[in-house]
Amino acid sequence: MSLPCLRARRRLRAAAVATTLSAACALAVAGPAAASDALFVSGSAGNDAQPCSWHKPCATIGHAVGLAHEGSRIFVGPGTYREQVTITSALALRGFDAVIDASGKDNGIVVTGASSAGTSIRGFTVQNANAEGILANATSDLRIARNELRNNDRTPNAASPPQCAAQGEVPGDCGEALHLMGVSSSKVVRNFIHDNVGGILLTDETGPTHGNVVAHNVSRDNAEDCGITLPSHNALATSDPSKAGVYDNTIAHNVAVHNGGAGVGMFAPFPGTASYNNRVIGNIVTDNGEAGIGIHAHAPGQDVGGNVMVGNYVARNGVDPDADSVQTVGIALLNADPKANPAEIIAKNRISEQFFGIFINGSFDIRGLFTNDFASSVTTPIGHHA
């Protein structure tokens, strides 16, 4: 979690401490004569003593996952499934009005390990997890699409599970509803993520997170943390990009609004961490508690260079306390290393209803700065730390 997100969380804490698998759905995706790699789950008519077939569905998603082989498709019918689902091989998980209620469990869905590469998850509501609604760890080539994640992170800052552990001065990141940790070449698209502690998170505790596309999602009303966050938490990131770093990710055409922290952020909280060469393009970023878009390097020996912010609409966001903006700011940059001069592209963004359009604290080589469109409601288009 970034320090801006942490500050937002602390402020709020201080303030206030049915049916069987329908024939219509099934026929649309597989039909009664489904191939042998298809398994079926029914919340009303299923039984885990059954083989998860079309005629004899099982009752829980976890049981179907246990019977599946690599490449299996699992179709989950309407109902509420009170379980944590763990996927360790490549599967296609499809929900039809299916709710995973993870009350009392760490996560709703966990996709973990290299053998899970190629998994897809689509059409679920995931809610009430103690930590993340969906956690992907040390894997690749995922597709997570058209899911709703709500009311997750019931026990933020917990010591367990491991990814919740503190990262130096920064607590763990279980506030985010959807977490890619050590994940590459994956797509997170068209998900609706709301009313969690935080939204979408990309980190590198278990390996580099790179080459991912996060697009056309809505991340809103996540009350304490950021909408979409790309913080590095691994001190190996600057020395060995094969082992760590958050880089070469594309954050495009998302909506990040009414979140407690920043709308979108790329952060390096301690020496050796790196969030670089990421692209933030064409997003709507408004009404967040801290900066609309932020880049922070908090200490020497970090890398936040090469990030691109182009064509975003940014408005009515808050103050960035880490960058010492004092006033509200659309895009905030902090570089605490006097010997570094990270290069960034900040171009053709539309910024309105902010005191500072772009606020810069520290040394940066910024290209495209004067191509940004500052509305008359921006008091100071480009400001610098005194």
Distance of CA 68 to the CA centre of its chain: 28
| Dihedral over alpha carbons 341, 342, 343, 348 (to 10 degrees) | -110
CA-CA distance, 110 to 107, in Å (whole number)? Answer: 7
Beta bridge partners of 39: 74
CA-CA distance, 22 to 359, in Å (whole number)? Answer: 54
pLDDT score at 25: 43
CA-CA distance, 79 to 82, in Å (whole number)? Answer: 10
CA-CA distance, 35 to 55, in Å (whole number)? Answer: 13
Peptide bond into 208 cis (omega under 30): no
Per residue of the chain (386 residues), give pLDDT as tens.
555 665 555 444 333 323 444 433 443 343 433 445 899 999 999 999 999 999 999 999 999 999 999 999 999 999 999 999 999 999 999 999 999 999 999 999 999 999 999 999 999 999 999 999 999 999 999 999 999 999 998 887 676 777 777 665 556 667 799 999 999 999 999 999 999 999 999 999 999 999 999 999 999 999 999 999 999 999 999 999 999 999 999 999 999 999 999 999 999 999 999 999 999 999 999 999 999 999 999 989 999 999 999 999 999 999 999 999 999 999 999 999 988 999 999 999 999 999 999 999 999 999 999 999 999 999 999 999 97
- Would you say 283 and 320 are in contact if contact means Cβ atoms under 8 Å apart? no
CA-CA distance, 183 to 270, in Å (whole number)? Answer: 21
**Other Cβ atoms within 10 Å of 319 Cβ, number:** 21
pLDDT score at 164: 74
User: Measured on CA atoms in the order 292, 298, 300, 302, is the torsion positive or negative?
Assistant: negative
pLDDT score at 259: 97
Give the CA distances from residue 38 to residues 34, 50, 85, 91, in Å, rounded to whole numbers and listed in that order.
6, 14, 17, 10
CA-CA distance, 143 to 118, in Å (whole number)? Answer: 7
Q: What are phi and psi of 231, to 5 degrees?
A: -95, 145
Distance of CA 285 to the CA centre of its chain: 15
pLDDT score at 161: 78
CATH code at 3-17+78-384: 2.160.20.10
Q: Which two tokens stand for residue 344?
A: 């960034």
What's at 192, amino acid-wise? F
Instruction: Write a three-state SS string for the chain.
Output: CCHHHHHHHHHHHHHCCCCCCCHHHHHHHCCCCCCCCEEEECCCCCCCCCCCCCCCCECCHHHHHHHCCCCCEEEECCEEECCCEEECCCCEEEEEEEEEECCCCCCCEEEECHHHCCCEEEEEEEECCCCCCEEEEEEECCEEECCEEECCCCCCCCCCCHHHCCECCECCCCCEEEEEEEEECCEEECCEEECCCEEEEEECCCCCEECCEEECCEEECCCCCCCEEEECCCCCCCCCCCCCCEECCEEECCEEECCCCCCEEEEECCCCCEEECCEEECCEEECCCCCCEEEEECCCCCECCCCEEECCEEECCCECCCCCCCCEEEEEEEECCCCCCCEEEEECCEEECCCEEEEEECCCEEECHHHCEECCCCCEEEEECC
Q: Which two tokens stand for residue 227?
A: 């909408």
Q: What are phi and psi of 247, to 5 degrees?
A: -150, 155
Q: Give span(s): CATH 2.160.20.10, the chain.
A: 3-17+78-384
Beta bridge partners of 149: 126, 193
Give the CA distances from residue 23 to residues 55, 67, 85, in Å, rounded to whole numbers and listed in that order.
11, 23, 25
CA-CA distance, 293 to 327, in Å (whole number)? Answer: 15
- The pTM of the full predicted model, rounded to 2 decimals, is 0.91
